[in-house]
Amino acid sequence: MRGRVGLGESRAVWSWALIDWGNSAFATVVMAGFFPVFFKGYWAGGLTAADSTFWLGSANALASLLVVVLAPTLGALADQAGAKKRFLLIFTALGVLASAALFWVAQGQWALALAVYVLGLLGFSGNNVFYDALLVDVSPPERYERVSSLGYALGYLGGGLLFALNVVMTAKPQWFGLADAAQAVRFAFLGTALWWALFTLPVALWVREAPAAIRRQGWGAATRAALRQLAATLGQVRRLPQTFLFLLAYWLYIDGVDTIIRMAVDFGLAIGFGANDLMAALLLTQAVGFPAALVLGRLGERWGAQRAVLLCIGVYLVMVVGASQMREVWQFYLMAGGIGLVQGGIQALSRALFAGLIPPGQAAEFFGLFNVVGKFAAVLGPGLVAVTAGLTGDSRLSLLPIALLFLAGAWLLARVDLAAGRAAVGDGSQVRQSALS
């Protein structure tokens, strides 16, 4: 498929990119937008603020741990069995059903809400592992940057459009024949499930992955081979120094990115901005993120993805330092717009960079590791934010330590020799034999 350029490939690329259009509804509407607020005020209204925060944080941690444990093994199995698309659809179904189930969770049932939410997070995270891995099946290497950026751009647009509709629904529920804002939020969860399912249909119909060489062995043999392959992969990473160096750099700078994603709303509330302004700022980030991701994809093709990611890190550094001086709400909007310029681009270009540093035929397995690194991100950063806020007593300074993560990540990324890394994985059989020996 890599060698063909035409309608067939174009349809596959667009079908692949629409996965992001669909699953970003869960990320924006459920994860970032309504679940945290609705959990505190509706399902966990009988708990103290500290208890609800503890349980919500624990649920997020459990979901991340499950992905860390499962992703590499399932990725290896998908490679062995030629089942990346099959696993993607299974995890999509899990996420869709969990999103829909939130509609029926009654007020006060906080434990059930968290259990369903964990299943949704697991479905979303697993979906992304195999979505990322299918990049190498729909795009030739020279177009990784553009195709990866198209996915993130459509994610910002699709997630943003649905989120905007849901914000209007909660603000004016009577316009939609709904009783109140609580009912509107419940319908937002149901709508997310339908949206996600609908825009997964194209990949089910039109994306074809390369067949696995040992597919006929059956699932039992494939599972045993996958476990052997996973053990060998950990050895491979040690034998691919540029791939390892990139993963280390990615872990540091994506920790900064994820920390800002998770802490920006809390930061705005802590310095006295209203919830309506924060929701509007989130919409601004989504709106800016759509065209910006496309532009950065083209820039990555012209400059090289490595230089473009370094540019994105530079913008994040300016935003973090500027946050320490923030006093007015317009400054928060400015920060939201600046983050929107680079948030999708840095994620898309990082995915494209990594796709060029992995051995042929092991995309799902290596992207399993890639996503594990992403899940371990936003561990160090929030801790730095919390410690800084506690020591200084000034929330405006709390984001400053994140600059250290961006600086360290940029320093390591600049030292990645992409030519050497691509040459090292160019002959997959030799690399694989070295890892197995």
Residue 219 domain-assigned? no
Residue 99 domain-assigned? yes
Question: How far is residue 301 CA from its own chain's centroid?
Answer: 22
Q: How confident is the model at residue 196 (pLDDT cuts 50, 70, 90)?
A: very high
Residue 233 domain-assigned? no
pLDDT higher at 50 or 413 = 413
Q: Which range (2-11, 320-329, 345-354) has the least confidence?
A: 2-11
- What pLDDT score was predicted for residue 364? 65
| Same structural domain, 161 and 291 | no
| Same structural domain, 293 and 173 | no
Question: 122-160: per-residue pLDDT in tens?
Answer: 999 889 888 888 888 888 877 887 888 888 788 888 988
Mean per-residue pLDDT of the chain: 80
Token look-up 């990320």 returns 27
| Same structural domain, 310 and 364 | yes
| Same structural domain, 269 and 189 | no
Instruction: Write the CATH number for 428.
Output: 1.20.1250.20
| Same structural domain, 247 and 205 | no
The stretch 118-123 carries a mean pLDDT of 92
Taking the model in full, what pTM does it have?
0.73
Residue 235 domain-assigned? no
The stretch 261-278 carries a mean pLDDT of 70
Q: How confident is the model at residue 379 (pLDDT cuts 50, 70, 90)?
A: low
Q: Which range (167-176, 321-330, 368-377, 405-414) has the least confidence?
A: 368-377
Nearest Cα neighbor of 149 from 366, 370, 374, 347 is: 347
- What pLDDT score was predicted for residue 302? 85
pLDDT higher at 393 or 187 = 187
Q: Which range (162-166, 225-229, 273-277, 408-412) has the least confidence?
A: 225-229
Between CA 270 and CA 94 the distance in angstroms is 35
Question: 81-91: per-residue pLDDT in tens?
Answer: 677 898 899 99
The stretch 400-405 carries a mean pLDDT of 87
Residue 106 class from Cβ within 10 Å (0-12 exposed, 13-18 middle, 19+ buried)? exposed
Q: Cβ atoms within 10 A of the Cβ of 43, count?
A: 23
| Same structural domain, 20 and 138 | yes
- What pLDDT score was predicted for residue 279? 76
Given a cut of 90, is residue 101 above it in pLDDT? yes
Residue 217 domain-assigned? no
| Same structural domain, 304 and 433 | yes
Inter-CA distances, 98 with 93, 102, 190, 358, 419, Å:
8, 7, 9, 33, 43
Count the domains in the chain: 2
Task: Report which listed range, 48-52, 103-107, 168-172, 262-266, is most confident.
Answer: 103-107
Identity of the amino acid at 66? L
Which of 211, 232, 261 is where one domain is finished?
211
| Same structural domain, 244 and 178 | no
pLDDT higher at 418 or 360 = 418
Question: 305-330: per-residue pLDDT in tens?
Answer: 899 999 999 999 999 888 888 888 88
Question: Which residues form the domain of 191?
Answer: 1-211
Compute the radius of gyration of the chain from its Cα atoms.
Answer: 21
| Same structural domain, 192 and 106 | yes
Question: How far is residue 58 CA from its own chain's centroid?
Answer: 19
| Same structural domain, 287 and 190 | no
Q: How confident is the model at residue 228 (pLDDT cuts 50, 70, 90)?
A: low
The stretch 256-262 carries a mean pLDDT of 77
| Same structural domain, 119 and 185 | yes
**SS3 (DSSP) at 143:** helix
Task: Report which listed range, 27-31, 228-232, 379-383, 385-389, is most confident.
Answer: 27-31
- What pLDDT score was predicted for residue 34? 83
| Same structural domain, 185 and 255 | no
Given a cut of 50, is residue 1 above it in pLDDT? no
Residue 232 domain-assigned? no
- What pLDDT score was predicted for residue 3? 37
